[in-house]
Structure 1
């Protein structure tokens, strides 16, 4: 029994999801004629109270499309220093949009309106890049699955409105936040100019993310998707998996959160564990101390059939997901207690 905590991207379609994929009606999506893709885009937009959606192969693409639509070359994007759009998207902000980045030192990946205010460049200062976009990540991967308070997002949106800035959400794990905080997705649709939601992490789809925004925004985004090579043809089978996930796999995320907290509780008693970031959702990040290093600890776990990820020179990350069963959690606990 292999137990894979490296990421929630390792999930595989369930038998019922495969059936939905097999039965999907398909067409040419570049022509706007794939009924399953159209249905997914409409469903996701309706869920968040937004006008339109765009189905893309990955969350990196939806984020990068949004940044390109919101900016022009020479602009500047404000985000946390640990943000996925900066750390893990291949320098796409520079390569795709010709924009620079103002990095903020938030708390566990979360930034505040006060921090954003200090990062905005004066429009009248010709020496500096024009600030045009603020990007948030919820939940924050490097923050250990941390979640924004709605009041903090509202304050940032108010600041953006005052300064004429767009507000984008990298919502790769937004559904984890919605479940953990019992939030209404339409509140996010009200506060953000664009939202990227990922279907291939905790929701268990094999591929895909949806970019949400106004009809005018998505019209521009569709052109950028084509420019980036993201136009898909008979993509209905993939879209059907996403629709199934939205219908059946959201509320079950609470089980992943329970599993992550259960592991954190046990790790708190182990001598080889230092600090543990607060566990709010399905990501558990903890410090490894002697006699292990993160690398040697991960290697030791692998010998026991458990896969994990050394996320920094001092920390290991575990991510729970729908392919992690209760029996796997108990097996992991047994290994932790005997290391």
Structure 2
């Protein structure tokens, strides 16, 4: 008995060949994607510096340091870093044994001046009260001298010497008491002026210290650089640092290798996350004018010879203070417009 073999239709595709062709197409697609992706990465890496100048920057604002000219200890921290404060708001409480010692020294000086002033007032009062009697005795001795001159031949030389000596002593006593009263009055006025100056110094010290209340000198945001409760600080050390949010800017660290020098008035774009903010260079600063932490950021990107200050477009919401942003300055205005249109088209702004 013969069995007939049933062969496949030659028009039907071979499953093995189909799987091979599919796998080949996938391999070629992956290979092509890798090649073109690597090529695109190389073009972007080497071509981007030829299109725009880009490097990081930091969002900053004018800073107001809050410090005291005494060694202090922070008792309580009323405001916290990142908190918005207004002028005159209490941000911390401190105590200062050094300030107490200075006030005590002034008070001892005031006490000594008060004692000297009281002594001079007593001497002035005694001199003024003694003057009438001294003047009356002077008039009496003057009368005796006049009578002595009229009866000069009738008195002895010893009696004449006694009368004239008493008259001279009376004149001396009157002059001495008048001078003492006048000088005491002058000294009292000088001590009163000095005492008033010392009292003004004490009042100023107590008013500036305000019982240890540290207040904000400007309205703004408290920076993270703030002393903690219990921390002791030497004189002049910042207790807190406040950003003046009325003037926010970006310090851009310009790379050393660039095709075009940045100039004042040059438009730039600030990239922060998925946001793209327009800005303009308003000032070129030397690196020495930048804060220490900003120099650290610049140093991490290589030594930067220039720092450009950027102001964002009016109405733009600035990023958080202290944030690191990326700044792009296109060498050509046409390329910048094309990039802006592309970003707007893709909805990335």
Query: TM-score of the superposition, structure 2-length normalised?
Result: 0.22
Could you say which structure has the larger radius of gyration?
A: 2
- Which structure has more RCO (C-alpha within 8 Å, separation ≥ 6)? 2
More helix as a share of residues:
2
Q: TM-score, normalised by structure 1?
A: 0.22
Which structure's residues are more often strand, by fraction? Answer: 2
